[in-house]
């Protein structure tokens, strides 16, 4: 028969050993938790820095252009956005504007967005004739390799408005929605004429032209607007957007933007936004 004292000492020794193991595991868990929190804070800081950089690079607001009323608004889905827009003057009375959407999400999309906007800006200075189609072709040649290596592409719309003639030349690399509403006709979709930037090594763009007369409206958005879903999974869709533009014909550019985002907020399931939503409205005045 075992000695009770010996058995008790053995049980105590076993318990002490198990407690030591538990203490070691707890210490290791605390260490891993600390490391995870440190990495999370580092990542959050990097995201915040990237967002600040994007905010600083975005135009402060819509420019003043004779003959145009302009409003633009962007609502990112995450800390860093893949949507981009820009306004640049080419000569005293010629406005060049862009709006694009990088495929993917997160930090990578944000960095590639910054690259795309920079290349499009550069094209204005290096091209002998920086027409919208030439700008898109230049950007595709410059960015194709980087975008291919990262399985990325960018849908992009480039417009060039000459105030004196009220003429808008534009080229569209796979971007939607782009809507034009003239006083003579209802709102209609302006289709894309070439593939997005980064899809094809050689991407020939087509330049088209329209006139923005008083009362005419051009709406350029990102697909986060038409792809927004309600609680039943139904998409906001192009049809609703076209109807909204028709209904706002007598409103200013900022009022049109307000109306569309208000309709989106009423339609979209709470907390369901998973894609950036950017909207630019140009109205002839």
What is the maximal distance between C-alpha atoms in the chain? 110
For the chain, give the number of residues. 285
Highest mean pLDDT among 21-25, 92-96, 251-255: 251-255
Same domain, 30 and 86: no
Same domain, 44 and 70: no
Predicted local distance difference test score (pLDDT) of residue 8? 64
Check whether 32 has a pLDDT greater than 60: yes
Predicted local distance difference test score (pLDDT) of residue 101? 94
Same domain, 226 and 243: yes
The pTM for the full model equals: 0.81
Residues 206-261: tens digit of each pLDDT: 999 999 999 999 999 999 999 999 988 899 999 999 999 999 999 999 999 999 99
Give me the mean pLDDT over the 134-155 stretch.
95
Same domain, 243 and 173: yes
Same domain, 44 and 180: no
- Last residue within a domain, chosen from 57, 73, 105: 57
Same domain, 119 and 231: yes
Same domain, 23 and 154: no
- Last residue within a domain, chosen from 57, 73, 99: 57
Predicted local distance difference test score (pLDDT) of residue 122? 96
- Last residue within a domain, chosen from 25, 41, 57: 57
Same domain, 45 and 76: no
Predicted local distance difference test score (pLDDT) of residue 197? 97
- Domain CATH for 167: 3.60.40.10
Check whether 196 has a pLDDT greater than 80: yes
Same domain, 15 and 87: no
Give me the mean pLDDT over the 194-205 stretch.
95
Check whether 60 has a pLDDT greater than 90: no
Q: What is the C-alpha to C-alpha distance for residues 143 and 132, in angstroms, rounded to an integer?
A: 16
pLDDT averaged over the chain? 88
Check whether 44 has a pLDDT greater than 60: no
Predicted local distance difference test score (pLDDT) of residue 17? 76
Same domain, 33 and 140: no
Range of the domain at 167: 61-284
Q: How many domains does the chain have?
A: 2
Same domain, 19 and 78: no
User: What percent of the chain lies above the pLDDT cut of 90?
Assistant: 63
Same domain, 22 and 98: no
Check whether 73 has a pLDDT greater than 80: yes
């Amino acid at each position: 028969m075992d000695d009770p004292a010996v058995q008790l000492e053995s049980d105590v020794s076993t318990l002490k050993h198990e407690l030591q193991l538990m203490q070691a595991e707890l210490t290791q868990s605390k260490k891993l938790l600390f490391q995870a929190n440190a990495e999370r804070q580092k990542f959050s800081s990097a995201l915040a820095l990237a967002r600040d950089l994007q905010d600083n690079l975005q135009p402060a607001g819509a420019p003043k252009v004779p003959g145009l009323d302009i409003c633009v608004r962007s609502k990112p889905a995450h800390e860093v956005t893949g949507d981009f827009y820009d306004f640049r003057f080419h000569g005293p009375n010629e406005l060049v504007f862009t709006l694009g959407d990088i495929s993917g999400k997160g930090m990578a999309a944000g960095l590639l967005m910054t690259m795309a906007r920079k290349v499009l800006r550069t094209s204005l200075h290096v091209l002998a004739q920086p027409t919208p189609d030439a700008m898109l072709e230049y950007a595709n040649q410059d960015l194709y390799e980087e975008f291919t290596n990262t399985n990325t592409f960018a849908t992009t719309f480039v417009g060039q408005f000459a105030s004196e003639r009220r003429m808008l030349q534009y080229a569209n690399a796979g971007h939607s929605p782009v809507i034009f509403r003239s006083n003579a006709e209802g709102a209609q979709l302006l289709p894309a004429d070439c593939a997005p930037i980064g899809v094809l090594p050689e991407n020939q763009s087509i330049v088209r032209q329209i006139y923005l007369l008083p009362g005419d409206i051009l709406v350029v958005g990102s697909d986060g607007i038409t792809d927004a879903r309600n609680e039943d999974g139904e998409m906001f869709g192009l049809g609703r957007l076209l109807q909204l533009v028709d209904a706002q014909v007598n409103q200013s550019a900022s009022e049109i933007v307000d109306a569309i985002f208000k309709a989106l907020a009423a339609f979209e399931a709470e907390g369901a936004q998973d894609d950036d939503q950017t909207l630019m409205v140009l109205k002839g005045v």
